[in-house]
Amino acid sequence: MTDKTTSPVDEKAVAVVEKRLSKAEAYATDLVIKDDNDQKKATAALSELNKLGDEITGQKEELTKPLNKVLAAIRARYKPVESAHANAIRIIKGKLISYHDAKQREADKEAARIAARAAKGTIKPETAVRKMDEIAPVEKNVKTDAGALQYKKVPKATITKEVTDLTDAEIVAHARAGYLAWNETAVKKAALATGKEGEVLAGVTVTIETQAANIR
């Protein structure tokens, strides 16, 4: 037995649009503009297509807008719960790590003290070895009936300089290594703002092209 879910999409309405678009695509493919009359016909066809696009958007948004509202409401309702959950985990993990690291520091300090005494000769080597063995090991794994915890050392990278603090050579090295993103949107905007043509900025060329803006 199969579970069939009814689609909220009005298939008949979509089918009508598909049929109209099929004809429009065929017209566009065969279109040859030889004179001003053809140009007017093509402009009219473009306007009709844009109106059809509005119809498609309307059909889609009639379904998606209510869903988006529901989705937004669900996310908003669960956001404080998720934040509280994440915060509780963060606090507990932080305290566990602090305890673990403090215990590790004490163990390292005691081991260093024993090693220093052995180096000075105030205790025998065998005594130093025995005392080292007596130091309580700092567990990396904690097991309970509910679950387990594992401590591990993870490298962490920290940015200590702004890009403006780097030398030109360092910036070029980072860029060539792929560490600096080429902000194409920003640089294109800056190039257009010059109001000039040609290579107005390094690696950015402005050209003037013809576009067709349909008004309906």
Longest dimension (CA), the chain: 108
> Tokens 């993870």 belong to which residue?
154
Confidence at residue 216, expressed as pLDDT on a 0 to 100 scale: 74
Average pLDDT in the 148-157 region?
A: 95
> Which tens digit of pLDDT belongs to each residue from 42-53?
999 999 999 999
DSSP string, 11-41: HHHHHHHHHHHHHHHHHHHH----SHHHHHH
Give helix 11-30 / helix 36-120 axis angle, nearest 10°: 110
- Report yes or no: 21 and 52 within 8 Å, Cβ to Cβ: yes
Q: What are the beta bridge partners of residue 142?
A: 149
17 — phi, psi (to 5°)? -65, -45
- Report yes or no: 166 and 174 within 8 Å, Cβ to Cβ: yes
> Which tens digit of pLDDT belongs to each residue from 100-135?
999 999 999 999 999 999 999 999 999 999 999 999
SS3 49: helix
